[in-house]
Amino acid sequence: MGKYFGTDGFRGEANITLTADHAYKVGRFLGWYYNEKRRRAAEEGLAPQQGPARIVIGKDTRRSSYMFEYSLVGGLVASGADAYLLHVTTTPSVAYIARVDNFDCGIMISASHNPYYDNGIKLINGQGEKMDEETISLVEAYLDGNLEAFGQKWEELPFAHRDKIGCTVDYISGRNRYIGYLISLGMYSFRGVKVGLDCANGSSWNIAKAVFDALGATTYVINAEPNGLNINLNAGSTHIEGLQKFVVEKGLDVGFAYDGDADRCLCVDEKGNVVTGDHILYIYGRYMKERGKLVTNTVVTTVMSNFGLYKAFDELDIDYARTAVGDKYVYEYMQQHGSRIGGEQSGHIIFSKYASTGDGILTSLKLMEVMMARKKPMSELAAPLAIYPQVLENVRVTDKATAQNDPDVQAAVQAVAAELGDTGRILVRESGTEPLVRVMVEAPSKEICQKYVDQVVDVIRHKGYEQA
């Protein structure tokens, strides 16, 4: 992770840690950088220049998203790039359009599941994937005033003049084609199925219902009245209790909850039970296995997936991989090994045959596909997965790396792992953003979990690593 950009973009409180000036400079750099790459490729005979760089932009419903959009556009056109505006849309739609319409890159303005006062800038490459670290490091170098690119230092970037100043293009047609793409993936009619959608007052508010309606569902929607301040507010996948109540009260067959930019999806079954990202990986992984479609016979997870998921995969003879936390790492593994499905407990699920990033609406369509194909309610599809109890304790420490790597701490962790055997697991990891060591145990009962968490935490405290 860099100084400004983490695993999911440049994120912070609007106009405090992420300002309109930051956005303008990001736009200035990207517009100049991709124009310069085009010019140099044309000079070397590698590709025709074919006009200015083309960059597509989407945003969520936060009040500050409009400010950041205008700032980014100002920077892009000032550097001579053309800015194509999808307006309010989802992160996966930006990734899709960047890829299929041959854009140089895409930008999504969103802080995902964070509260409204935060915002973020996510950069997406021309293949619809998260931007490579090399380009991110150049953006950060420009923000800090020490840019070195193409073999020279740049004190300032040149402005475009006269007819070289970029254009701004209303590209709502791109968003509409993305909606059409999702509809085209529907293999079954949803006629007669009552579906609840929680749009989190975010990016999915004017997309999800259109897709489900087109596929014939009887659609019931909550939290689809964004006002710039209510995104994720007691709504969406981070506050799924609202959808649970709604599904039960309305007698719905299933419900789906998205986050602010709709790259995540969690589900609620007809009884009001939560179907997590782990359940989704189980349900669709099993479905693929049964149809001979699970390429490499592997489902990609993160280290935070529940132990019960791995026990269930063992019973089905499905292999699994564990990556670091973050959809970025899940996707990298999938690309390297040719895996077709992977994701996180949080509902960030990647279907690599259909998308280059997590897509909440796509995930809900895929779960509907299993329901329709198997003619079973969601509760029955999820039932075979037994989620193990979990206890997680965060210990605030003076030095997280030193604390975690202490030989006595490591010995305590290994002792717990040995005692648990194949009945559970222990995971100790550093927080990526705070001075915390996270100690997590999954086992057949809460009491066993707590016992083993306490064993390790006591050692950390005894060695003097805990902050006073």
From residue 212, give the alpha-carbon distance in Å to each of 220, 224, 298, 349: 10, 14, 30, 19
Nearest to 200 by CA among 110, 68, 72: 110
Q: Predicted confidence band at 45 (pLDDT cuts at 50, 70, 90)?
A: confident
pLDDT at 46: 77
Q: What percent of the chain has pLDDT over 90?
A: 92
pLDDT band at 77 (very low <50, low <70, confident <90, very high): very high
Report the pLDDT value the prediction gives residue 49, as an integer from 0 to 100: 64
Residues of the chain with CATH 3.40.120.10: 5-175, 185-382
State the CATH class of domain 390-462.
alpha beta
Q: What are phi and psi of 330, to 5 degrees?
A: -60, -50
Report the pLDDT averaged over residues 194-198.
98
Is the pLDDT confidence value at 355 over 90?
yes
Q: For residues 440-444, give the mean pLDDT.
A: 95
What CATH code would you report for 185-382? Answer: 3.40.120.10
How many residues in total does the chain contain?
468
Residue 468 to residues 395, 397, 453, 464, Cα–Cα distance (Å):
11, 9, 20, 9
What pLDDT, on a 0 to 100 scale, did the predictor assign at position 79? 98
| pLDDT-based confidence at residue 435 (cuts at 50, 70, 90) | confident
Predicted pLDDT at 6:
86
* pTM score of the predicted model: 0.92
pLDDT at 1 exceeding the cut of 60: no
pLDDT, average across residues 103-111:
97
- Residue 433, pLDDT > 70, answer no
Q: Residues 199-246: pLDDT tens digits?
A: 999 999 999 999 999 999 999 999 999 999 999 999 999 999 999 999
The phi and psi torsions of 133 (rounded to 5 degrees) equal: -65, -30
Tell me the per-residue pLDDT of 253-290, one tens digit each, with 9 for 90 and over. Answer: 999 999 999 999 999 999 999 999 999 999 999 999 99
Q: What is the pLDDT of residues 147-164, one digit of tens each?
A: 999 999 999 999 999 999
For the domain covering 5-175, report its CATH number: 3.40.120.10
What are the CA-CA distances from residue 302 to residues 110, 135, 198, 323 (Å)?
23, 26, 26, 4
Query: Active-site residue numbers?
Result: 112
What does the block give as tokens for 444? 């057949």
